[in-house]
């Protein structure tokens, strides 16, 4: 279903419909700037939205269902190591040739099963995205939920030893706490995290665990 039918207060910034993404062009299969999810995932996300709105935030969605043709586009792009147009913005510390090896790009994605969402929080008081200390789709350990802290306990440690940058990048205690606000809300309401991306969550009891869909991203008829 269309995500905003279930969560009308969600803000959409569908990165793969536009050009500000790690490829630098619209991704195959994204025909409209909308977001789709299975009904089960959308229903669970509504409870997340209610949770964070009570804290003064709205959900901002970067990606949800992703057709297989979109994943195939990523794979073709990654295989062309000469195309580094967006390297300064998304993977400045990496040689593009390692993207497959380090599993930043894979031939299958949980997004294609329809119950995974990439998102952040929008602060209704400041009218800005909550500062998470890093951009969506940053390829590097700085995106890991355990960067500079322990996501299981919510403790900030400041440990930036995994960062390859010189001087090593870090995130502040507040930025780590902001990531934890999102994480707690998602885990409380039925989603499971990914250990390499603070913005990525999948419904625990996803209804199509073995199905990879191919239909395009566009507004659905009710």
36, 62, 130, 148, 190 from 18: Cα distances, Å: 16, 11, 22, 31, 30
Residue 35, both tokens: 């977001």
Can 197 be counted among the known catalytic residues? yes
The residue from 31, 129, 173, 197 that is catalytic is 197
CB 67 within 8 A of CB 112: yes
Q: Which residues are registered as beta bridge partners of 203?
A: 191
C-alpha–C-alpha distance, residues 220 and 112, integer Å: 16
CB 9 within 8 A of CB 53: yes
**Positions marked active-site:** 197
């Amino acid at each position: 279903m269309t995500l905003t039918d279930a969560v009308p207060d969600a803000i959409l910034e569908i990165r793969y419909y536009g050009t500000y993404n790690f490829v630098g062009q619209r991704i195959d299969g994204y025909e409209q700037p909308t977001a789709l999810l299975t009904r089960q995932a959308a229903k669970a996300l509504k409870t997340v939205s209610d949770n964070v709105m009570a804290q003064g935030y709205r959900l901002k969605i970067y990606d949800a269902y992703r057709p297989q043709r979109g994943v195939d586009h990523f794979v073709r792009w990654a295989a062309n190591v000469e195309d580094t147009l967006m390297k300064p913005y998304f993977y400045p510390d990496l040689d593009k040739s390692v993207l497959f090896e380090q599993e930043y790009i894979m031939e299958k994605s949980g997004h294609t099963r329809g119950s995974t969402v990439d998102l952040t929080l929008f602060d209704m008081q400041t009218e800005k995205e909550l500062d998470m200390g890093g951009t969506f789709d940053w390829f590097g350990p700085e995106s890991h939920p355990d960067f500079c802290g322990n996501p299981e306990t919510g403790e900030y440690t400041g440990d930036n030893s995994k960062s390859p940058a010189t001087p090593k990048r870090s995130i502040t205690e507040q930025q780590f706490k902001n990531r934890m606000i999102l994480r707690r809300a998602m885990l409380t309401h039925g989603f499971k995290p990914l250990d390499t991306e603070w913005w990525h969550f999948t419904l625990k009891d996803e209804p199509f665990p073995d199905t990879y869909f191919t239909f395009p991203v566009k507004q659905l008829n009710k």
